[in-house]
Amino acid sequence: MKFSILLEMVFDLLAKRKVTATYFAEKFELSVRTVYRYIDDLTLAGVPIQVLRGRDGGICISDSYKLPKGFMTKEEYESAIEALQMMYAQLPEERFLDAKRKLSAQVKAETRDFSLSADIGSILVDGGTWGDSGIFADKLRLFEECIKEKIAIDVEYQSRDGNRTQRRVEPHVLVCKQNVWYLYAFCHKQRAFRLFRVGRIVSVLKTEEHFVKRAFTRDDIPLYFQAMDTELIDVRLQIAEKAFADAQDWLGTENLRQVNKKWYADVSLPNDDTLVRKILGMGTDVRVLSPISLREKIKQYASAIAENYQA
């Protein structure tokens, strides 16, 4: 019973731009408290639902969300799309067209061999990862669409410490830095441009607000880690021959040099846990020569990992 209600709630959210807790409570004869508990269950299951507070608040599902691959057969999708078209013919409400568009996009996504997040031109970018289910690439495509059409979006953003905030932003450009995707957007809350990590954007809602693109240059985008409040340290690495290709992908060929048949890199890198995890991920093929502080940090992490497997 509960599963069928949760499923129907998802379909309602896909079909409507916004739903109130009272609507769900009346429809399923539940208390408002139970409705929010069910919403929490859906969120824990990975459905990107956003709860908007205030007079014009409500419950929304991210515009980038699609049903899991294989959720329905092609024939079932076609039947559902046809039914929505018939419903729209009898009652021409935008919500039926929205649901039809989302289901149609779902079918197209499941029949593609791979997902591209950019048009084919001088540069081709595949926004997905190896074995990607398409969810991340779908989010990139949505941002790309809003950038082109100059549509403001409401995002729920999770900071490094786990806190979530809701913001309205004007997306201007997607940035890929060291294999991490960012959205460079003008934030209404901060009244300034900000870089948002795409992976930390929990949900995205397209608004009906269009914006005029603001002037900016490439130098305005804080691509250097100093601008993102992350300290840089000078690092010297010794790299094994078998890790050379991985080091090229990570650091760039221009930062690698060979001395006495051994590879070295002298680079400035962000002094944070991400750097430690990256080095540990390359195992014994990469050795930190300096600074001493980074060597000690690597040792501590390695010891903690070893202790985790003692039991």
pLDDT in tens, 274-295: 889 999 999 999 999 999 999 9
Assign 267 to helix, strand or coil.
strand
CB proximity list for 38: less than 8 A, separation 6 or greater:
2, 5, 6, 9, 24, 30
DSSP labels, 134-150: SHHHHHHHHHHHHHHHT
Between the CA of residue 205 and those of 17, 149, 201, what are the distances in Å?
9, 14, 11
Are the C-beta atoms of 96 and 88 separated by less than 8 Å? Answer: yes
Alpha-carbon distance 263 to 257, whole Å? 6
pLDDT in tens, 60-109: 888 877 666 555 566 666 666 676 677 667 777 766 666 666 666 555 55
How much of the chain is helix, strand and coil, in % rounded to 5? 45, 25, 30
- pTM of this prediction exceeds 0.75: no
Alpha-carbon distance 123 to 120, whole Å? 7
